[in-house]
Amino acid sequence: MSRSRDRSRRRPAYRSRPNEFYWLWIAATATYGVGDVVSTIAFLRYVPTIEEANPVVAFSLESFGLSGLVALKIAVYLVMLWISVEGARDGDGLLYYFPPVLLTATGTYLTASNLRLLWIA
């Protein structure tokens, strides 16, 4: 027996398990949104001898300053949130879980990397 693809019969994961959805995105926000942005700002302010390594982030910083960095982060975050919500609506576990997990892992790595560079500078 195959699983029904009729959206009206299933509740999306973010409705049936709202705490899980919120905690996944709180972790992504804390690491990718807050941790990486704050550590990047600190890094750029206190270690001017080292430049941003990511060319997309460097371009947004050069063109629009810190607001460019924040706008870029928000855009990526919203696209990933949209993918996760669509995955939940379609019953696709990979698309539901992958975006917040990826942002959390990326944010954790980037924050740790920035803090390490701040520490050794």
- Domain locations along the chain: 22-120
72 Cβ contact list (under 8 Å, min separation 6): 56, 57, 60
> What predicted TM-score, i.e. pTM, was given to this entire model?
0.85
- Among 21, 33, 28, 24, which Cα is nearest to 74's? 33
**Mean pLDDT, all residues of the chain:** 89
Question: What band does 121 get if pLDDT is binned at 50, 70 and 90?
Answer: confident
Question: What band does 101 get if pLDDT is binned at 50, 70 and 90?
Answer: very high
> Which tops the pLDDT comparison, 93 or 10?
93
According to the model, what pLDDT value does residue 1 have?
Answer: 43
Distance CA 110, CA 86 (A): 27
